[in-house]
Amino acid sequence: MASQDLSLKIVDGLSSYKSFFQKLLLLSITFPHITFGLVPAETAPFPLVIALILIILEKKINSFFVYSNFILLLFWSITIPQGINILDGVEQLFVYLQNIYVAFYIYKCGLPSISQSFCLSLIGFHLMTGIAYTIGIDFFNNILVFLSSERLGAEISRGQGSRFFSTEPSEAMGSLFLVLILYSLNRFKFFNFVVFFTLLVTAILSSSGTSFLLISIFLFSFFLIKYRLTGLLLLIFSIFCISFVLNNFLFDIAIDNRVLNLVRVAMSLGFLDLMNFINISSGFRFTLDMASFFSIFNLMPFYGIGSASSNSLFALTSYGVDLQNFSEFNYVDITNLKPTSLVATILIEFGILGLGFLLFFLVKMRRYLIFMFSNQFTNSERSILIVVIFKLFFLMIVGTPASIATVFLAFYYINLKKIETSRTIE
C-alpha cells in the first residue's frame, strides 16, 4: 500500500510536466533520427518512452491499451520458436508498440500545449538547416551524425540536395507533416502560407524525388478539392503546356539536380515507360511495398513479428521482380529488405490476421475518414491528410510514427469538433 501511494504521488508530481513531455514527444517525432547511437537511425526509441510516460500521467490506460499490448506480446512469443532472428523480433515489437502508444495518446489527448511559437521554431529550424547545408555549412549535419547512428558517413550523390536535419534528402519532408497539420488545425496565424512555403522550399532544396512526389500529391489533391475536376484538368493542361514550352530549355540546363534529371527523363517517355521508370528510379521501396500488398493472394495465417525482412525477398520474387533491377544489389550482396510502408509491413508479418486487422480498422474508423474530408477542415489540411495516408501505404519509415501520429491527430480534432457541436446544440 505504501509503495502504491508513493507511485501515485510521483505521478501526481510529474503531472505538472505534461506540457514539457508533449513538446518532447513532438520533438522526438519531428527529428526521429536522434538516437544517440542506441539503435539504427530508422528505429528511434524515444517516442515510445515519452508516449508511455504521457499515457501514465494522463491516466488514460484502458482495456484497449492493455489488450493491444497483450496481443502483440503473445504474437511475439509465437514468433520466437520459428527461428526468426531474436533482435529483429524485438526491434519490430518495439516499433509496433511505439506506433500504438503514440497513436493512442494523440488520439486521446492531442497536443494541446503546443503553441504557435513552438511550431514555428521547429519549422524555422528545419528550413534553416536545409538552407545552411545548401550553401555548404555542415554544422547541423555533423550534429545529427553525432547524435544518430553512423549511417551519415556515406556521401549522398546523384545530384541530391539538402538533407535538412534528416539522414537523407528523401526523408526531409516526412516528419514535417505532423507539425504543419498541427499548425493548421489550431488555426494559427497565416497557416496556409506556412504550409505552402515550407513544403515548396523543402521540395526545392532537397532535390529529392520523394519530396517532389509528395508535394505533387499535395498540389494535385489541393486543386482537386478546391476547384473540383474542372480546375484539376486546367492545372494538368497548364503543366503540359509549360512542360512543352520548357522541354528544350530543361535539356540545355547544365545543372546536376536529381529532380531536374528525373523530370528531363520523364518528359521524354510514354505513359507505360514512365510507370516503369518511376518503378525503377524509386529503388526497392515502391516495388517492395507493391509486392507486399500482392502477398494477400497467398497469405498464411501468421508469419511472425520481425519476419518482414526475411519475407521481403520471397514477396519480390513471387511478384515476378528481377532483383538485379535494383541498383542497391548491383554493388552489394543481395540482402533482406524491409517495406517502407506500415500497412505493407503488417501484411507481410501478420498475414491473414494482419489483413483482418486492417479491414476491421477501416470499418471502425470509416466515419473519421469521411469526416476528415468534410468542410470542417481546410483544403490544405485535407490535402496534407491525403499525403499522409499515401505515406502510410507507401513511404512511411516503419520505425518512425510521424504519419500515423498525423492521422490520429486528425481523429482527435474530429472528436473535439463533435463535442463542441453537441455542446452548442445543448
Q: Angle at CA 176, nearest 5°, toward 173 and 181?
A: 130
- C-beta pairs of 20-25 under 8 Å, 24+ apart in sequence: 21/50, 21/53, 21/54, 21/57, 22/54, 22/111, 22/112, 22/113, 22/114, 23/113, 23/114, 23/118, 24/50, 25/50, 25/51, 25/54, 25/102, 25/105, 25/111
Task: Give the mean model confidence (pLDDT) for residues 350-378.
Answer: 83
Residue 243 has pLDDT above 60, yes or no: no
Residue 248 has pLDDT above 80, yes or no: no
Predicted pLDDT at 42: 65
Task: Give the mean model confidence (pLDDT) for residues 177-200.
Answer: 89
Residue with the larger pLDDT of the pair 161 and 413? 413
Residue 228 forms part of a structural domain: yes
pLDDT in tens, 318-335: 777 666 655 555 445 556
DSSP string, 145-189: HHHS-GGGGSPP-TT----TTSSSGGGTTTTHHHHHHHHHHTT-T
Q: How confident is the model at residue 370 (pLDDT cuts 50, 70, 90)?
A: confident
Residue 241 has pLDDT above 70, yes or no: no
Q: Give residue 181's domain range.
A: 2-268+365-425
Residue 305 forms part of a structural domain: no
CB 110 within 8 A of CB 411: no
Give residue 245's identity as a one-letter amino acid code: V
Residue 254 has pLDDT above 70, yes or no: no
Predicted pLDDT at 269: 59
CB 126 within 8 A of CB 202: yes
Residue with the larger pLDDT of the pair 357 and 245? 357
96 three-class SS: helix
**Residue 404 in grid coordinates:** 500515423
Residue 77 forms part of a structural domain: yes
**CA distances for 192 relative to 82, 138, 185, 188, 234, angstroms:** 51, 31, 11, 9, 22
For the ranges 328-332, 363-367, 386-390, the lowest mean pLDDT is seen at 328-332
pLDDT in tens, 276-286: 565 555 556 77
Task: Give the mean model confidence (pLDDT) for residues 380-395.
Answer: 84
Residue 314 forms part of a structural domain: no
Predicted pLDDT at 81: 62
Predicted pLDDT at 121: 93
For the ranges 10-19, 74-83, 167-176, 304-313, the lowest mean pLDDT is seen at 10-19
Predicted pLDDT at 331: 45
Residue 94 forms part of a structural domain: yes
For the ranges 124-128, 149-153, 291-295, 421-425, the lowest mean pLDDT is seen at 149-153
Predicted pLDDT at 154: 46
Predicted pLDDT at 70: 87
Mean pLDDT of the chain: 76
Q: Angle at CA 418, nearest 5°, toward 414 and 422?
A: 170
Residue 348 forms part of a structural domain: no
- Torsion angle, alpha carbons of 76, 150, 402, 221, to 10: -120
Containing 382, the helix (H) or strand (E) segment is: helix 379-390
pLDDT in tens, 209-238: 777 778 888 888 888 887 776 666 766 666
Task: Give the mean model confidence (pLDDT) for residues 370-394.
Answer: 83
pLDDT in tens, 62-72: 788 888 888 88
pLDDT in tens, 109-158: 888 889 999 999 999 998 998 888 888 887 877 787 777 765 554 444 45
Q: Supply the pTM of this predicted model.
A: 0.80
Split into its structural domains, the chain has a count of 1
Please name the residue ranges forming H helices in 186-322: 191-206, 209-252, 258-267, 271-281, 284-294, 308-318
Predicted pLDDT at 10: 53
